[in-house]
Amino acid sequence: MWSLSNSNIRRMTRIVLVCLLLLSFTGCYRQDNDAADVPLWTPAPSDNGVGGNIAEVSYGSVSRTVSGEGRLTYSTWEDITCDLANARLVSINVKRGDTVKKGDIIAEFTIEHNQSDLVSMVSELEILEKQFRTNLSSYQSMVDAAKASVNSLKEQYAASPTDKLKTQLAKAEINLKKAQASLEFFEYDSLRMIERQKKAIEKYEERISNNKILAPFDGIVGSVEYLPVGNIVKPGSAICSLYYRDKVWITTNSDISNGMRYNSPVTIEVSVINKKYTGRVITAPDLFGQTTGRVVIIPDEDIDIDPGDRLKRITVKADRFRLDNVLVLPSRAVQNEEGKRYVYLFEDGIMKKRYVTVGMSSLDTVQILDGLTAGQYVAVD
């Protein structure tokens, strides 16, 4: 016995009504046209079909999108430390989530120091400079005396060139070179000591005047350490972490059926600022059976979002698949009969049952691989 379900009865009733309506169209058409080869009825592309239940087989796209909730992650950071000696904390001027510019003051200190140490260093420099001036004249005098001896022997040798004068002149020239070398070494060594002392004083003065820790780059303040105001801070103590704002990632724990695969393009929707961005997946879960896990995405451009809103709603979408320029139909046009797919095709003025082979499908659209061609019309349930 062959039985009909309620849905099949409704579908067959609709088809019979459509056929009767088509026959009425055909009768009207033949009254005005005598040619026997004229089609009974051809729906125009602009026609919504009989009762709006007609769809044209055409080329289009079919895709399926997966999405997940994400959040901004500042991936690269530096620890900001206090490298000052004898630094007593006055204030920390930032809090977690603050945006800072390069050169902004992170923390301020007073530097504990002994003023007598600086006075002693300055006095030592004055002694070195005085010793240099005094000894320089002595070395210069030796050079001048050696030059005078060489010049005198040259004059004598020119007037009476003897072997004895020649030997004395050679020795005098050697002594002059020694005197000049001694002068040059003295100047080099003395000036080096003076310069080293000057730099030591500059460094000391800089250390006692440098009482601020500045932001080394534009960034976002991360964790801030608790340091009691008024205490001496040990050199190397951490003050806070600072994230590079221009290096932003998006992370999401949603990877439905591996829709977000490595290197796949994604759309980033930031609801708090009502903006959309594009990006690309740089890490994704293992594809061998794992369907959920942490996904990391790099935006294609800087995301302009206030740091205070960085943990608010961000949606990340990716195409699980997408096919363009393929034959498509509305999903409601394709019926199922014991695993076989079919449509009701309008052809030569009548409705025919046509089995088809389908491919990829989304919620509203299905790809037609075989059984239909572009420009044909089918019934939509």
For 67-74+247-321, CATH number out of 1.20.1730.10, 3.30.1110.20, 3.30.360.10, 2.40.30.230 equals 2.40.30.230
What DSSP state is assigned to residue 234?
P
Contact 143, 180 (CB under 8 A): yes
Contact 169, 150 (CB under 8 A): yes
- Provide DSSP, 32-70: H---TTS-S----TT---GGG-EEE-EEEEEEEEEEEEE
Whether the model clears a pTM of 0.85, i.e. scores above it, the answer is no
Q: What angle do CA 182, 183, 186 make, to 5 degrees?
A: 85
Predicted confidence (pLDDT) per residue in 165-212, tens digit: 999 999 999 999 999 999 999 999 999 999 999 999 988 887 777 789
Nearest to 62, CA basis, from 264, 318, 323: 323
For 76-246, CATH number out of 3.40.470.10, 2.60.40.10, 2.40.50.100, 2.30.40.10 equals 2.40.50.100
- Between CA 206 and CA 276 the distance in angstroms is 49
- Listed in sequence order, the DSSP H helices in the chain are 6-32, 115-159, 163-209
Side chain identity at residue 341, one-letter code: R
Query: Where in the chain are the domains?
Result: 6-65+323-379, 67-74+247-321, 76-246
Contact 113, 131 (CB under 8 A): no
- Cβ neighbors of 193 (< 8 A, separation 6 or more) are 128
Question: Which residues does residue 341 pair with via DSSP β-bridges, in sequence order?
Answer: 336, 356
Residue 14 CB-half CA count within 13 A: 15
Tens digit of pLDDT at every position of the chain (381 positions): 334 444 554 555 555 444 544 444 434 333 333 333 333 334 444 444 444 588 899 999 888 887 778 877 777 889 999 988 888 999 999 998 888 999 999 999 988 876 777 888 899 999 999 999 999 999 999 999 999 999 999 999 898 899 999 999 999 999 999 999 999 999 999 999 999 999 999 888 877 777 899 999 988 888 899 999 999 999 999 999 998 877 777 787 766 556 677 777 888 888 877 888 888 888 776 554 455 567 788 888 877 766 666 666 788 888 777 888 999 999 999 999 888 999 999 888 888 899 999 998 888 899 999 999 999 999 887
- Between CA 165 and CA 325 the distance in angstroms is 108
- Between CA 366 and CA 122 the distance in angstroms is 88
**Quick one: which H or E segment has residue 273?**
none
Q: So what's the architecture of 6-65+323-379 in CATH?
A: Beta Barrel (2.40)
The three-state secondary structure class of 331 is helix
Question: Which residues does residue 71 pair with via DSSP β-bridges, in sequence order?
Answer: 251
- Cβ neighbors of 281 (< 8 A, separation 6 or more) are 260, 261, 262, 263, 264, 266, 295, 296, 297, 318
Phi, psi for 91 (deg, rounded to 5): -165, 150
